[in-house]
Structure 1
Amino acid sequence: MSDQEDVPLETREYASPPCFMHELVPGYGAEPVVQDSWRDVCRWRKAERKRLIDERLAVDAEERVARSLRIASALDLAVGRVSGRIVSGYWPFRGEPDLRNWAIKVIERGGRIALPVVIKKGWPLEFRVWAPGDPLERGVWNILVPSHGPSVQPDVVIAPVVGFDQANYRLGYGGGFFDRTLAAMPKRPFVVGVGYSDSRIQTIYPQPHDIPMGVIVTDE
């Protein structure tokens, strides 16, 4: 998940033109096919990423709210106790599930919420504690992030997905920030991928650098 994670599709640059896996592998679609070429996987992921984001942006706003509420309810079961724990959430972007009200409830139950901050291209994310009323500023790609605060290590990381597969691998925005961050952490947090049920795909063709989520929570 290249060095352009969370970058709006229209602003990223690619070395290869988009294509579809069925053009690379005869019979694609019937069952997963192992791909040895990282170039081919990148091209396929780009096309699949665009398809999935376009589909979720086409969903009615009220329906997205309803789906987000169902995801929030399922998160309570997946995460369990939050008191005394740091939970990394996110500020919703490009039609992602909106879990900000759920994050506030985490704080009300004695937990703390951190938000991920992109420091520099190619670097791991930094997590900063946030609570309602704390100042926010526009970070990279115009996403709101805490204006200041010490870096913390979350106990739970909520990671929005563009797509996901049956092995809990996450298709992100293509920059590798989450994988890079998880690999660099001294202690692995409990990682929960969140997304809409129709973001499920057969496989993302995981590579050695991809790290599976502990669990995937959807609106189903």
Structure 2
Amino acid sequence: MTKDDKAPAATGEYASPPCFMHELAPEYRAAPERTDEWADVARWRKAERKRLVNDRLAMDAETRMERSQKIASGLDRAIGKVAGRIVSTYWPFRGEPDLRDWSIRVIERSGRIALPVVVQKGAPLEFRIWTPGDPLERGVWNILVPSRGPAVQPDIVVAPVVGFDSGNYRLGYGGGFFDRTLAAMTKRPLVIGVGYSEARIATIYPQPHDIAMTTIVTDE
């Protein structure tokens, strides 16, 4: 696979009222106090998003690859057999764990890989089958996506996190594609969030539209 994980930052925020907030540990004093104002939560999420992305971008390439390999091993344990199953992965950018080699190994073990594609703003993602050598094009945020291929429903969704909490809620880039897609699926897949251990935070302040992941896999 071609190494190309540079892309501009994603933007966009939700605008729905908060559902609940958890008590924060002392080390998270910068987080907002309990409030019914979504604006406070949105500002806090934006600041956390920036901090967490900057932290992982500061990681050198060798360390990032070593930690990505540990995450890949954790995925093998979490998923088990992949033969006959469709696994949605992703093309990494902005310092995300690089699982492209792991994706090839899934194919070698008789699994199928699908990549998420943004087809329309405000719409669920489309998952397209991908194999090495298939043509790719630049999609939203300049991420490489399959330029064609059948749309499928994955059995397993592996989603990168910017942050995550103990409830397995995911802090993403703010576009809402992940939650919107899961909500639209007729059959719930196994949903695995992946990220570096530093991505763990006390809470993301889950909202009614946020959907918890099945489990989280980190380099720990």
Q: Same fold (TM over 0.5)?
A: yes
Unaligned residue ranges in structure 2 (runs of 5+):
1-6, 15-23
Q: Give the corresponding residue for 2:19.
A: none
1:81 to partner: Cα distance: 1.2
Structure 2 counterparts to residues 134-153 of structure 1, below 5 A: 134-153=134-153
Q: Which residue of 1 aligns with 2:28?
A: 29
Deviation of residue 13 (structure 1)? 6.2
Measure, in 2, the Cα distance between the counterparts of 1:122 and 1:71.
30
Q: Which amino acid aligns with 1:44?
A: W
Q: Give the count of matched residue pairs.
A: 204
Structure 2 residue aligned with 1:203: 203
Q: Alpha-carbon deviation of 1:141?
A: 1.3
Tell me how far 1:38 sits from its aligned partner.
1.4
Matched residue of 1:82: which SS?
A: coil
Amino acid at match of 2:125: L
1:124 maps to: 124
| 2:172 counterpart residue number | 172
Give the aligned partner of residue 92 of structure 2. 92
Preserved contact between residue 32 and residue 203 of structure 1 (Cα < 8 Å): no
Q: In structure 2, what is the Cα distance between the partners aligned to 1:34 and 1:69?
A: 38
Structure 1 distance, partners of 2:133, 2:32, is 47
Structure 2 equivalent of residue 61 of structure 1: 61
1:113 aligns with 2:74: no
Q: Would the alpha carbon gap of residues 166 and 33 (structure 1) be closer, same or farther in structure 2, given more than 3 Å must change?
A: farther
Query: 2 CA distance for matches of 1:216 and 1:69?
Result: 15
Aligned: 1:77 with 2:55: no
Which amino acid letter does the alignment assign opposite residue 28 of structure 2?
Answer: G
Query: 1:194 is matched with which residue?
Result: 194
Greater alpha carbon shift after TM alignment, 153-162 vs 27-36: 27-36
Change (3 A) 1:28 1:95: closer
Structure 1 residues without counterparts, runs of 5 or longer: 1-6, 16-24
Instruction: Report the CA distance between 1:14 and its aligned residue.
Output: 7.0
Instruction: Measure the CA separation in 2 of the matches of 1:59 and 1:156.
Output: 28
> Percent identical across equivalent pairs?
71
Contact 2:124 2:181 in 1 (8 A): yes
Indicate if the aligned counterparts of 1:124 and 1:177 stay in contact, CA closer than 8 A: yes
Q: Separation in 1 of the partners of 2:102 and 2:188?
A: 23
Does 1:38 pair with 2:14?
Answer: no
State the TM-score, normalizing by the size of structure 1: 0.87
How far apart are residue 71 of structure 1 and its match?
0.2
By how many angstroms is 1:135 displaced? 0.7
The residue that corresponds to 1:12 in the other structure is 11
Deviation at 1:145, TM superposition (A): 0.3
SS at match of 1:73: helix
Q: What amino acid maps onto 1:123 in structure 2?
A: A
Corresponding letter in the other structure for 2:195:
G
Deviations 1:24-71 (A, max 9, x none): x9x883599544221111110000000000000001110000000000
Question: Is 2:50 the counterpart of 1:50?
Answer: yes
Tell me what 1:19 maps to: none
State how far apart, in whole Å, the 2-side matches of 1:177 and 1:33 are: 27
Per the alignment, residue 20 of structure 2 pairs with none
RMSD: 2.2
CA contact (8 A) 2:32 2:44 kept: no
